[in-house]
Amino acid sequence: MAHGHEHGHGHGHGHKFRPERAGRLHSAERDARQHWKPLLDLLDLKKITAVADVGAGTGYFAIPLAQALAGQGEVYALDTSAEMLAILRERVGKIRNLHVIQTGEPKLPLNDASVGAVLLINMLHEFNDLKASLREVRRILRPGGIVVVSDWKKIPTSEGPPLEVRFTEDEARAALESAGFCSVTFHDLYPEHFTFTCLIAAENKSS
């Protein structure tokens, strides 16, 4: 995982970000390409008490999110990569509301309806089974919960995953709607990444 680099047809490409490139996840270049603040601004942090960052990697989004929720909410940083999470644990310091957890795939180690928001940042192309992973996201979300999805546009870029594993914006929207999410809304935040927010559709909650 790791906010790095499946294609939107149910079965994923599972193209994983390599841990040896972890230094790129916290850099001035990353700030310029996909800064954490515009994404976190999509969340109403005054109403959220728990967030899951799926594919948290070394904590580029999870750490500032936990700092913003200090004293009022918990952040669960999930990743399949032990190497990435080891780096994240070193970075956590005294942040007490950030919980670093190694996960399998697609099963997530959180209870049903346990979080109010889920971040899926540069993750669509990484999932081995997109449909199953999105079902898990729905399972852990509370009624009315929000998902923030941001991923590489299917355009040539100097960084990022191969073009053939990337999603178009239409493919990403279709995958989210097919998984039972509603109010899928596009946000024009970055030149090289598309961003969507969507809500849980109560009638499709169980799976």
Q: Does the structural domain 19-204 have CATH classification 3.40.50.150?
A: yes
Q: Where are the domains of the chain?
A: 19-204
| Beta sheet of 115-121, edge-to-edge order | 98-102, 74-79, 50-54, 115-121, 141-152, 193-200, 181-187
Any idea which of 65-69, 120-124, 136-140, 201-205 has the lowest mean pLDDT? Answer: 201-205
pLDDT grade for 140, boundaries at 50, 70 and 90: very high
Instruction: Report pLDDT for 155.
Output: 97
pLDDT at 141 over 90: yes
Residue 64 CB contacts under 8 Å (≥ 6 apart), including other chains: 36, 37, 40
Distances (CA, A) of 128 to 86, 105, 107, 112, 125: 23, 8, 12, 22, 8
Residue 121 has pLDDT above 80, yes or no: yes
Q: Region 101-118: what's the mean pLDDT?
A: 97
Q: Residue 73 corresponds to which tokens in the numbers above?
A: 């909410």
pLDDT at 26: 53
Question: What confidence score (pLDDT) does residue 58 get?
Answer: 93
Q: Give the C-alpha separation, 142 to 7, whole Å.
A: 26
Q: Facing residues of 181 across strands?
A: 200
Give pLDDT, residue 29.
80
- Check: CB of residue 154 under 8 Å from CB of residue 127: no
Average pLDDT, the chain: 88
Closest by CA to 106, choosing from 72, 70, 131, 141, is 131
Alpha-carbon gap, residue 138 to 205, rounded angstroms: 6
Q: What percent of the chain has pLDDT over 90?
A: 80
* Residue 150 pLDDT exceeds 70: yes
Res 103: pLDDT:
97
Confidence (pLDDT) at 14? 60
Q: For 60-105, what is each residue's pLDDT tens digit?
A: 999 999 999 999 999 999 999 999 999 999 999 999 999 999 999 9
Q: What is the mean pLDDT of residues 150-154?
A: 97
3-state DSSP assignment of residue 28: helix
Residue 59 confidence (pLDDT) above 70: yes
